[in-house]
Homo-oligomer: A and B are copies of this chain.
Amino acid sequence: MAARKENSTYTLNEKFITECDLTYAVNKIGGRWKILIIDKLANQKLRFGELKKEFPNITERMLTLQLRALEQDGLVKRTVYAEVPPRVEYELTQMALEFVPIFRQLSEWGGKHRNLTQKLKIRDKP
């Protein structure tokens, strides 16, 4: 999200890893709040302020940054209404909608994983 030095190992490695479509994909949804935002928008348009209310501790700055990134990556469409006070609506694009089913599977896997891990931890106790 900020400007980057070219040719740093950091940048070179990023290029290398995103040659893989999967890593590329995960990078697109990798921000801290992006997935949750996509989830909230899966069934409805929402205004900036409405999204903000969904996440008690998010700052306006972070919400803005994540939405901008999603917009840049073609996953969210932003519509500004020329009113005062301003009204801005966010909705998913077709590409993001295609992600939603995969999304659900990942979520299921996550839940299963969480349970298993917790059980393992209980077992670990002496």
Task: Choose one: B21, B55, B103, B106; the contact of A107 (CB below 8 Å).
Answer: B21
Q: Mark A62-103, 1 if CB is under 8 A from B, else 0.
A: 000000000001100000000000000000000100110011
Nearest opposing residue in chain B for A117, CB measure? B74
- Chain multiplicity (copies): 2
Task: Find chain B residues with CB under 8 A from A108 CB.
Answer: 21
In the assembled complex, the CB of A21 is this many whole angstroms from the nearest CB of chain B, namely 4
Q: Is the CB of A102 within 8 A of B95?
A: no
Q: Is the CB of A28 within 8 A of B73?
A: no
Q: Given known contacts A32-B13, A36-B17, is B117 in contact with A22 (CB within 8 Å)?
A: no
Q: Is the CB of B56 within 8 A of A24?
A: no
Nearest opposing residue in chain B for A104, CB measure? B22
